[in-house]
Amino acid sequence: MIPRVLSGIQPSGNLHIGNYLGALGNWVKIQHDYESIFCIVDLHAITVYQKPDELRTKIREIAGIFLAAGIDPKHSRIVVQSTVPAHAELAWLLTCVTPMGWLERMTQFKAKAAAQESIGDGLFQYPVLMAADILLYQANIVPVGEDQMQHIELARDIAQRFNSLYGETFVMPATRLPAVGARIMGLDDPTAKMSKSASGTGHAVALLDPPDRIRRTIMRATTDSGSGVDFETMGPGVANLLAIFQSFSGWSDDQMRTHFTGVRYGDLKKQVAEMTISQLEPMQQRYREITADPSHVDRVLHEGAQAVLPTANATVQLVKEHMGIYTRGR
């Protein structure tokens, strides 16, 4: 059997180059080696308040970006999480086997909770829903950025606990990180990861940003008190700019050192900006073409959901049977 890949992105803001280099770009490269399912996880997005009209728009926008980036809808399934009710149903069943202490340890919950005035229970339960997303499809591989590693570990722990309580049910998923770009940092603050929900114009480069804006954001990026690239002593801001260049270009470590040693920060930023623009412009052009026909995206999303429903429903049925929950005919 061909191994299955599952991953997702929240429609919680503008997709940025961190999402692309840590996740989406990697999905495009590996999709044909697997049976691939890529989700737009709207049920995750609402764990913090989203304006309804913006959320609706973002879901379609992200589907368009997936296609423009090169996700092949003839091979890979693009699925809006809420259109497959089994995600939420399995999440509840798994909630019942997940100790609260496991969730209290999640660093992303702690970070996000600290930024909210009041915290919904959904934010706390988020990692269980994510485990459900993965286990629902019995996914073998979950390609994500480094920030999601702890959540994948938790999904494995939940699967293991369920299997030991109720018998073999779930496949153990494995993480797959990109070689470079697994953690792109904020351009305004290279000690914090680039994030959709961070405020401030100098923080992120969005995938649909026009070239002049990309140039402006990267030219203003925080570096350090040095003036030229020194691979031995560089601070996190310079390391981040180099990681962005290397991930987009695919250059080796040796090529990077030979080319950039001693290059002044202003020139480094110019080269990172031009490399980023050259990679994003063709994607933006395809995005405009794809979204010129809004029904195209809706068709892809409908077909995606229809294709995965049988697998999703079969897993929930199996879980219910193993737990002793009433199922017809048993």
Measured distance CA(293)–CA(166) in Å, rounded: 48
Measured distance CA(18)–CA(320) in Å, rounded: 38
CA–centroid distance for 302 within its chain: 21
Residues carrying an active site annotation: 112, 193, 196
Q: Please answer whether residues 44 and 144 qualify as being in contact, where contact means their C-beta atoms are separated by less than 8 angstroms.
A: no
One of 4, 5, 6, 18 touching ligand AQP (CB under 6 A): 18
Q: Does 246 help bind ligand AQP (rule: CB under 6 A)?
A: no
Q: Select 184 or 319, whichever has its Cβ closest to ligand AQP.
A: 184
Binding range to ligand AQP, per CB under 6 A, among 15-23, 32-40, 83-91, 306-314: 15-23
Binding range to ligand AQP, per CB under 6 A, among 153-161, 177-185, 246-254, 322-330: 177-185
Question: Could you tell me which residues come within 8 angstroms of residue 199 by beta carbon, excluding any fewer than 6 positions away?
Answer: none
Measured distance CA(79)–CA(63) in Å, rounded: 9
Measured distance CA(62)–CA(58) in Å, rounded: 6
Q: Does 82 help bind ligand AQP (rule: CB under 6 A)?
A: no
In the DSSP assignment, the letter for residue 223 is -
Q: Please answer whether residues 144 and 175 qualify as being in contact, where contact means their C-beta atoms are separated by less than 8 angstroms.
A: yes
Q: What is the total count of residues that contact ligand AQP (CB under 6 A)?
A: 21
Q: Select 98 or 148, whichever has its Cβ closest to ligand AQP.
A: 148
Q: Does 190 help bind ligand AQP (rule: CB under 6 A)?
A: no
Q: Select 10 or 31, whichever has its Cβ closest to ligand AQP.
A: 10
Question: Which residues, 264 to 283, sit near ligand AQP by CB under 6 A?
Answer: none
Tokens representing 184 are 């792109």
Q: Does 237 help bind ligand AQP (rule: CB under 6 A)?
A: no
Q: Footprint of ligand AQP on this chain (CB under 6 A)?
A: 9-10, 12-13, 18-19, 21-23, 144-145, 147-148, 182-184, 193-197
